[in-house]
Amino acid sequence: MTLPEQELESVIPDLRDVPMDQLADLGDSVLAHSIATYRQRLKGAGVPLNSFTSYVGGESPD
């Protein structure tokens, strides 16, 4: 198996140190692209539920 590189870059911009009232100043940067990607994903696959139901027998996760 090929293991990933030392670090994997995610698709979520790191906004931990960005003040909320300065988010708009980021403009059409990584943020806009990430939002567009996320919305595209929502449209494509929706947000599935992981549902589990169990009778004594007959289990069904995901």
Partner 1 sequence: MIINHRLSRDAFIALGHGGGDPAVIQDLVEAQYSKHLMLLHAVAEAADAADPSDPVTAAFQAGFSLMARVQAADSDAAAWQLGLPQIGAWAHDCLTSLDQGSLPDFGYVACAAVAAAVRAGITFQLAVPVHDGRVLLPGLGCLFIADQLSWIRLSGDGVRLTAGNDIDLPYAALIADDGRGTLLPQWQGTPLIRAVADGHAWDVLLETHDRYLDRYAQRMPTALTADEITKWRHIIESAWLVLVRRHSWVAASLATGVSVIVPLVPESDLDSATTPAAFGAIATSLPPDPVMMAETLVHEFQHLKLCGLMDMLPLIRPSEETVYAPWRQDPRPVGGLLQGVYAFLGIVLFWGAQRRVETDPDDVLRAEVMYERWRSTMELATGSLLATSALTPTGARFVNLIREQGLSLESESVPAEAREMAREVALDHWLTWQVRHNAFDTAGVASLAASYHRGEPLLDRTLPEGRIAEETRKVDSATRSRLLDMRHLDPRRYRELCAAGVPGLSKADALLINGQDSAAVCAYRDEIACDGRQPEVWVGLALAVHRHQASSPLRQVFTTKLPLMFDVYACLSQQGIRSDPLDLAAWLA
Enumerate binding residues for partner 1 (CB under 8 A): 1-16, 18-21, 23-24, 26, 29-31, 34-35, 38-39, 42-45, 47-62
**Smallest distance, partner 1 to C-beta of residue 28, A:** 11
What whole-number distance in Å separates Cα of residue 40 and Cα of residue 30?
Answer: 15
Cα 62 from Cα 48, distance rounded (Å): 9
